[in-house]
Amino acid sequence: MSLRRDVRHGLRIGRAEFVRSLRGYASETRRIVGLLLLLLFFGGNLLVSLPVVYVAGQSAQSVTEIPFFGPVATAIPVVLTLLATFRTLERIGRVEHESLVLTTVHPRAVVVGLITAEVGRIALWFGLPFAVVAATFTAGLGAPSLLVTATAVVVPLACCTTVWGYAVGIAVLRGFERLPGVRRTLKVVGFVAMVGVVLVSQSVGRSLADGSLPVDTLAATLTFGPLADFLALAFVGTPLARPFSVAAVATLAAIVALTPVGLVVATRQASALWFADRASGRDRDSAATVAKADGSPGGFSTPKPLSATKGGHVAWGLLVRGVRHPQKFTHLVMLVFFLGPLGTTIVQSSADGLGPILAASGAGLGTYLAGATFGLNPLGDDRPQFPMLLLTPTAPRALVRGRVLAGVILGVPVAAALPLATVALGTSPLSAVAFALVGVLMCLAAAAFAVGIGAAYPIYEEREFWGATTVVPSTLVLMGFMFVVGPGTVIGLVATWFGVTGHLSATPLLAGGLGLYLLVTGGVSYGSYRYAIRRYRTYTFD
Amino acid sequence: MPSTNADAAVEAVDLRKTYGSEVALDGVSLSIPSGTVYGFLGPNGAGKTTTMRILTGLSQPTSGSVRICGLDVSDREKLAPHVGYLPETPPLYDEFSAREQLDYVGDLRDIPSETAEARIDDLLDAFGLVGDANKRIGTYSKGMKQKTAFIQSVLHEPDVLFLDEPTSGLDPRAARQIRTSIGDVADSGSTVFLSTHILPVVEAVADEVGVLFDGRVVAEGTPDEVKSRAQTGGEGSLEDAFLAVTSDETRLSGVADE
């Protein structure tokens, strides 16, 4: 009776949380536009791939012919469990307004509710495209029963992996509460591991392509037979069916039996976590104590030459706050996804090419930092202080200029020092100096561009991003910045390389192209900077 | 220390709460009869919120015991129908309208839908929220949010209502509305445990007052008793008494035991 009531409450909580998510997605016009862009991009890709899926359904003869079926079937439960674990760590480890919910219903109902809502969100984001692909494949295969059997296989698996992933995630959160030091260490380890994974994935991709990897041996090693047999049950009653296996049925039974066990474990873990004293509060206290002990004697003194201008003061303030609260820069980890291909290129480059590649990379890295560090959410960053900032005699121009300057101060040393340092690796001094100079100019352009694009789409809500709660820029803005500044920087650096190596001859076409490039780069950056100033000048708390 | 009373709505015995070497509560005992409005006072950091979290079962004491309406607070399933809790930050979902929020809580409280609907209509009307009931809570003012959260906490007609700073930041009209409602809740036989810094509110509605200082109850009794024991003189206000008992604890160490 109690279980039935808790499940009923859980489903109600799940429905409410899911509705809240949907309303959150559609709460602003800009978010809707972002979603439409995503839909356009991924939906378009999906539509284009459907004919291929249909033909694959028509031509499929046996499940054993599906490439890498064994390792993929083994990977699916692992990936689903990991996904649930990470989502628990990131988002659903706690319910919003605990004081209300936990004094109203049993924690088991809350666990059921959070998991239900999460399954709903995953079904919305991934289930719909998956269903479209499955339906198309089924149509090609001519066996409608596949949809039913696939659902019968996927749903228990998804429930089991989600419940256990949740239990694991909660257990990890409990561990973090007990040992806050582990959380900090794991953040660093996780970051390094992610860089490693990106780098390795590049190498694996190439090795797969050139055939140097023993694919068959690897596939056999990574396949867990009972899981592959279980997923093959999805094809029962279709031309792709493989002989019935006892292991498959036993796996299905184990999955079904493990789900309630996982729910019990998850509930106990969650109760222990939610009703325990929050380590974070004590951490904050101790952090405050440490900060007090470390203190900041004296007033705010801006060093020269920054102290000469108001923009300089603002820039110094941003730098000091950044150093004291580095979590503000968690959005910069997006850079990791670009380090992978770059790292592989550097590793595989010849000794002659290493210096110039590193020099160009340094200029590019500095450019990225100059814009992305302080520029991509200026209004969101400054909003809490606006009642003070906008009512001082300091002009908005100085506020924006300070933000640009802070980015430049951070980016320029990287953009200049790395190219110059590569002289030791054989880069000619001329090339090194040229890359450094171009890098410095790029920093200026990127920092000016960033404040404009950031001001166009401010984010005010604090979010948990990579384990730190902070106001991070919109992903859309971050991607937009990269799509504009990335190619722009590459064009500039490639042109520089050809220029210093004497591969460019002065022609009207070259002069025109270069002029156009400089005009666009300078014009867009300056326009963006002016736009940011205007947004500051006309800002209102609406 | 108050004696254990089986009829007490709130019975806490020798509560102690520590965070490592830091002592948040040090032997807090309370015995609050049913139908009482109990004003719980204390300076910032005295341990009021910790006490309230323990009394609502949201946190566990390091030692000591708590019973609400005779139920051990660790039995949350049985406890839930008996308590209502309004924390300092109203626990509302911005994405819902007030009516949706209250319907949702009514569902979770297992209040029959017709009963819930009638109560929601009555309470929305009493608090002047009918016209805005279908607007998203994200668009509400602080006062509207606080009133919605108050309705939410009394929707199931709890035996004990815990209120943490319910009138903080409200305009006089909204504050009076909440204050009147606290009296109504008490008149209906419920017990109200009211934590606030706004002493005139306590003076206006509380039958009994407890002052928490440095993790200990340093004064307890009716407002008049506390005022007289704090030796503020006959003309002193509760504010004077509060300042006295929380500024020179040793002088009054015996007050709670008197």
Tens-digit pLDDT profile for residues B59-89: 889 999 999 999 998 888 888 889 999 998 8
State whether B96 and A16 contact (CB < 8 Å). Answer: yes
pLDDT range class, residue B210, cuts 50, 70, 90: very high
State whether B108 and A23 contact (CB < 8 Å). Answer: no
Contacts of B107 in chain A (CB under 8 A): 9, 12
Residue B256 has pLDDT above 50, yes or no: no
* Chain B contact probe: residue of A11, A100, A114 with most B CBs at under 10 A: A100
- Residues B68/B124, Cβ–Cβ less than 8 Å: no
Given this model, what pLDDT does residue B248 score?
Answer: 55
Given this model, what pLDDT does residue A344 score?
Answer: 63
Residues of chain A scoring pLDDT < 70: 1, 63-65, 184, 187, 191, 195, 198-199, 201-203, 205-213, 278-300, 334, 336-352, 464-469, 542
- What are the structure tokens assigned to B123, written together? 């309470």
Distances from the Cα of B214 to the Cα of A100, A393, B43, B185, B217, angstroms: 27, 44, 9, 30, 8
State whether A9 and B109 contact (CB < 8 Å). Answer: no
Contacts of B109 in chain A (CB under 8 A): 104
State whether A100 and B20 contact (CB < 8 Å). Answer: no
User: Which class for B35: exposed (0-12), middle (13-18), buried (19 or more C-beta within 10 A)?
Assistant: middle
How far apart are the CA of B234 and the nearest CA of chain A, in angstroms? 41
Q: Which of A5, A100, A107 sits opposite B91 (nearest CB)?
A: A100
Mean pLDDT of chain B: 85
State whether B108 and A13 contact (CB < 8 Å). Answer: yes
Give phi and psi for A191, each to the nearest 5: -65, -50
Instruction: Say which residues have a Cβ less than 8 Å from residue B45's Cβ, sequence separation at least 6.
Output: none
Contacts of A2 in chain B (CB under 8 A): 77
Distances from the Cα of A244 to the Cα of A229, A234, A236, A237, A247, angstroms: 8, 11, 8, 11, 9
State whether B104 and A16 contact (CB < 8 Å). Answer: yes
How far apart are the CA of B231 and the nearest CA of chain A, in angstroms? 36
State whether B80 and A104 contact (CB < 8 Å). Answer: yes
Name the residue with tokens 């605990």.
A98
Given this model, what pLDDT does residue B51 score?
Answer: 92
How far apart are the CA of A10 and the nearest CA of chain B, in angstroms? 9
Given this model, what pLDDT does residue A297 score?
Answer: 56
Grouping H, G, I as helix, E, B as strand and the rest as coil, residue B92 is: coil
Q: Which stretches of A211-309 are DSSP H helices?
A: 215-221, 225-232, 246-274, 279-294
**Taking CA B223 as the corner, what is the angle to CA B220 and CA B226, rounded to the nearest 5 degrees?**
50
ipTM reported for the complex, 2 dp: 0.75
* Chain A contact probe: residue of B60, B66, B93 with most A CBs at under 10 A: B93
Contacts of B96 in chain A (CB under 8 A): 16, 20
Radius of gyration of chain B (CA): 18
Give the CA count within 13 Å in the CB-facing half-sphere of B133: 19
Q: Which of B20, B95, B109 sits opposite A104 (nearest CB)?
A: B109
Report pTM: 0.71
State whether B108 and A24 contact (CB < 8 Å). Answer: no
Residue-wise pLDDT tens digits, A76-116: 899 999 989 988 887 888 888 888 999 899 999 999 999 99
State whether B108 and A275 contact (CB < 8 Å). Answer: no
Closest Cα in chain B to A178? B20
Residue-wise pLDDT tens digits, B115-168: 999 999 999 998 989 999 999 898 899 889 999 999 999 999 999 999 998 988
Q: Which of A99, A275, A277 sits opposite B85 (nearest CB)?
A: A99
Residue B180 has pLDDT above 80, yes or no: yes
Per-residue HEC secondary structure of A39-58 comes to HHHHHHHHHHHHHHHHHHHH
State whether A97 and B96 contact (CB < 8 Å). Answer: no
Contacts of B92 in chain A (CB under 8 A): 97
- What are the structure tokens assigned to A56, written together? 């694959």
Segment B170-191 shows an average pLDDT of 88
Enumerate the β-bridge partners of residue B19. B22
The C-alpha atoms of residue B49 and residue B28 are separated, in whole angstroms, by 13
- What end-to-end distance do the CA atoms of chain A give, in Å? 49
Given this model, what pLDDT does residue B192 score?
Answer: 95
Residues in B whose CB is inside 8 Å of some CB of A read 19-20, 22, 53, 56-60, 76-77, 79-80, 83-85, 87, 91-93, 95-96, 104-105, 107-110, 138, 152
The C-alpha atoms of residue B25 and residue B40 are separated, in whole angstroms, by 14
> A26 — contact with chain B (CB < 8 Å)?
no
Given this model, what pLDDT does residue A448 score?
Answer: 95
> A304 — contact with chain B (CB < 8 Å)?
no
Closest Cα in chain A to B138? A27
Given this model, what pLDDT does residue B37 score?
Answer: 94
